[in-house]
Structure 1
Amino acid sequence: MKTLFVPSEKYSKELRVAITPSDAAKLSKLGWSVNVETNAGTGAGFADADYVNAGANIVSADFEKQADFVACVRKPSIESIKNRKQGSFHLSLLDPFNEKELIKAFADNNVTAASFEMIPRSTIAQKMDVLSSQANLAGYYSVLKAATTINKIMPMMMTPAGTISPLKVFVIGVGVAGLQAIATAKRLGARVEAFDTRPVVEEQVKSLGAKFVKIDIGETGQTAQGYAKALTPEQIELQQKGMAKVCAQSDIVITTAKLFGRKPPRLITEEMIAAMKRGSVIVDLAAESGGNVAGSKFGEIVETENGVKIIGDTTFESDVSASASQMYSANVYNFIEHFTNKETGFAVNLEDPIMNGCIVTSNGEIRDERFK
C-alpha cells in the first residue's frame, strides 16, 4: 500500500486532523504518497501550503475512491465506505461495539478496518495508543474549563483584604484523564481529592499531592488491560453514598468513568447534585457516550435549580486541536511505520498481536462475533 488519504472531519465540532504536516513529511520518506483533502488541517492550524511544503498533495474528497489507506479521527459515514477502493485499509476511532452497521459496511465493501480503540494495552503498543494520548489532553482541559466556568479562583490567596481559600476539586476515576486532571488542578493551587474503584491507584494519587478517598464497596479490581472492572448495582449504590459527602463539600467535580463498548456508569445522581453548593461545577467527561452525571447533556452546559453547572460540552481534545492533532498524528504514524517494511511496504500481518487485536474486518469478513 502506497497511497494515503487524509479526509477532512465531517463532524462540525471536530477540529483535529489525522496527519500533521511534519508526519506527512516522515511518511513521504517511508515511500508513501500522502494526499490531504483541501482544508483538512485548518481547524488545527495547518494550512494546505504547510502540507505541500511537507511533500503532500492537496486533493478533493473524491480521492478516497483511489486511496490504498485512509486515516481519519472520527468514524466515517456508511456512504463514504461505499466509495472506498476494495481491499483498501481504514484506520480511525470506530466505536465498534456501538456501530455494527458501520462495521458491516466495511466488510460488505471489502475494506480492512482497524479500530484505534482496540489497540492492545501493551508496552510496544503505547506509541499507538490514541485513547491514552487524547484522554491526557481531555483531563488537562477539563480542569481549565471548570476553572473558567466557576466564579471563584483556584489557588489560596493571602491579601491585605483577607485570605481566599483554595478550591476543593474532586476527581472521580483515576485513569489517564483523571491523573492529568489531578496534576493540573494541583498545579493551579486547588485542594484535590480523588476516588477510583481500583485501590491499586492510591499511590499514584498520593504521588501527585492529592488525597485518595476510600469507600468500602466490596471486592473490586481491574481488567488485564488495566481498566476498572464494572461494578454491581449494589456496589454502585455504596459508591454513590460514599461520594455524596465529598461532592457536597467540593467546588468542582470531574467525572472520567468511561466503559469502552458500554454505557458509562451513573456516578452522580440528582440527589447528590441537589446537596452541592450553589455555584459548584461538574465536568462530565463521559457526556458524549451517555454521561456519568444525571442531567448532563452532550454539547451543552446545564445549570440546575440549585445553581450547579454541569458541563457536558466536552469535546476537549478538539478545543486544543493543534496539540491533540500532533499526538493523534504521531499515533497514526507509529502504527503505519511499525507495519511498513522498506522492501515490501505496508502489510497486514494478523499474526502480530497489535494488528490482530485492532483489525475488526478483513477479506470481507467481520472478525469478532461481538461486532456482528
Structure 2
Amino acid sequence: MASPMRIAIDCMGGDFGLRVSIPAAVTSLGQFSDIDLTLVGDRSAIESALAPAMRERFTIVDAPDVVSMSDKPSHALRHKTQSSMRVAIDLLHAKQVDALVSAGNTGALMAMGCYVLKTLPGISRPAICSAVPTATGYSYLLDLGANVDSSAEHLHQFALMGSALATALDGIENPRVALLNIGEEAIKGNEQVKLADTLLQANQQLNYIGFIEADQLFAASADVIVADGFVGNVALKACEGTANYISSIVDGSFRASWLSRIAGFFALPILTSIYQKLDPQQYNGASFLGLQGVVVKSHGSSNVKGFVHAIGQARMEVNSNMLDIIEQRLAALPK
C-alpha cells in the first residue's frame, strides 16, 4: 500500500486564518483518504480549534509568527522566518511534505518560495495559474500576478508550464495554447507579445493556436491561455467583478416586487445551476508553477469549500507527477 501523501497547511494565513483552514483540513481528511495533513501555525491555537478526538489525526508543527496580508514580501522574507508560511515552505524544501497550501500573502509566498525552493531548471520566473470556467469545462489562465512585466521568453516558459499542467491534470495530449492579446491579427499587440508569438510558433512541443481576445476567455477556445501577470490579473479580476455585478442585479431584480419574487421562486433551480457554475470557490487553488515544489495558493478570502478545493488541487498535482512532466518538457527544449 502506497504511503499517504503529505500536505502542509499554512493555518494562519489568509483573511480568516484558523476559522477556515481548520474546518477545511478536517473536511479534507474525510474527502480524501490518501492524504496526511501537517498543520503549521500557533500550536495552542490550532489545538484549541480542533476537537480533542481530531487532534491525533494531524501532525501539528508550531510556528509562532504570522505573515500578515499587508506585509511587504521583502520584509516577510527577512523577518518572518518563524512564520507559519515560512515554516511550511521549509518543510516542503526538506521533503517532509509533498505539497503546501496557503491562503496567505501572495507576494510573500512567492518570494519565500523562490528563495527557499528555487525555480526549476530553465525557468526564470514562476507563474500563478488557475482554472477559469468555460462553456465546456475550464481553461487554465497564467500568469495571474506573479510578474507584472514579462518578456517574450517568460511568456514562452509560461506556455510550456501551462501546457504541462493541462496534460498532467486533465490528460489532454496536446493542449491548445493561446496568447491573450488585444486582437487576433498578427499586427496587433505590443512587442513582447509579438516576439512571444514567434517563439511559440517555433516550438514543436506546443499546440499553439495563436492570439485570442479577452472576450474569448470563457468560450473554450483554448485549454491554456497565456498573459503577463499584469494583464492576466486585470482580466481575471474584471471578470470576477462582472460576475458579481450581474449576480447582484439578478438577485435585486427578483426581490423588487411580490410578482418578481414569485418569478424568482420558479426560476430558482435555473439560477442555482448558473450560480454553481460561476462560483469562484470551486475554482479556488492557484498553482505556483515553476518552483521546485508543489505550492498552491488559496484565495485570501476563501471559505471552507474553496480551501478544500485548494487542498484537492495540491493533491492532484502531486498524484499526476506534474513537476516531472514540466521538467521533461523543459529538458526537451533545444539547447
TM-score by length of 1: 0.33
Give the number of the structure whose alpha-carbon radius of gyration is greater.
Answer: 1
Greater percentage in helix = 2
